[in-house]
Structure 1
């Protein structure tokens, strides 16, 4: 079971990986970061991606069909109804994968991939596996 540092190093071994971080989306703080940051500052990047993660996690427009009883701070389901968020631009992919935990989770893994060298499908599969194995605490 890898911790944050091991998870980030594993993410950076993916083809085209430019940077990775583990972020708490309620506070916007990076719990760990490695590689490059799009704007040169991992903390600022964490705060910006946390806004996007929070938006996706807290709005019912992104809940599974049939709705979801999940609410921030609820103990009923230990993860938001969203599994991941993918943002693409001309030169890269940003993949945010929410982490399920045994406690009230507000953590996601952010992976930045170079569009020319990265494989989005492979990254999504591997990041899901990493997030499932990630040990926090």
Structure 2
């Protein structure tokens, strides 16, 4: 079971990996970083990706399991858990594509508050998006924080 540094090194072993981070999405702080940053600074990358992750984690998708049927009354967020800050985010991962690369953000479920995510930046020409998703999922399950 890898710790933060080992996890980030494994993520950097992905084809086309240029940078990897473990970020607390509530504070925007990088708990660990490896490789390059697309903006030249790991803390800025962590803060920017945390904003995106926070928006996704707090959003209950209309197509999600708690969605109301067309014409039905809106689902009560308190009943679905969407309004609970300690709930597991309804989103499993996020993929952002740019002209030069892919950013894959994978939420990590933890015993305490599930407020961290893994973020890997892949080169668009040499990265393998499907493999990155699968490996980040595996890393997120095996990651040991503490």
Q: Could you say whether these structures have the same fold, taking a TM-score greater than 0.5 normalized by the shorter chain as the test?
A: yes
* Unaligned stretches of 5+ residues in structure 2: 68-79
| TM-fit CA distance, 1:51 | 0.1
| TM-fit CA distance, 1:65 | 2.1
Q: What is aligned with 2:72?
A: none
Q: What is aligned with 1:98?
A: 107
| TM-fit CA distance, 1:70 | 4.2
Provide Cα deviations, 1:72-128, integer angstroms capped at 9, x if missing partner: 433xx4x21110000001110000000001111100000000010000000100000
Q: How many residues align?
A: 134
Contact 2:60 2:82 in 1 (8 A): no
Contact 1:57 1:80 in 2 (8 A): yes
Match of 1:73 among 78, 85, 90: 85
3-state secondary structure, aligned to 1:60: coil
Match of 1:129 among 124, 134, 138: 138
**In the alignment, structure 1 residue 120 sits paired with structure 2 residue 129:** yes
Contact 1:21 1:33 in 2 (8 A): yes
* Unaligned stretches of 5+ residues in structure 1: none
| TM-fit CA distance, 1:62 | 6.6
1:30-49 aligned at under 5 Å gives the runs 30-49=30-49
- Note the aligned Cα RMSD (angstroms): 1.4
Provide Cα deviations, 1:51-74, integer angstroms capped at 9, x if missing partner: 000000001137732254244433
TM-score, normalised by the number of residues in structure 2: 0.87
Contact 1:25 1:54 in 2 (8 A): yes
CA radius of gyration, larger in: 2
Contact 1:98 1:107 in 2 (8 A): yes
3-state secondary structure, aligned to 2:110: coil
Contact 2:59 2:82 in 1 (8 A): no
**In the alignment, structure 1 residue 61 sits paired with structure 2 residue 47:** no
TM-score, normalised by the number of residues in structure 1: 0.92
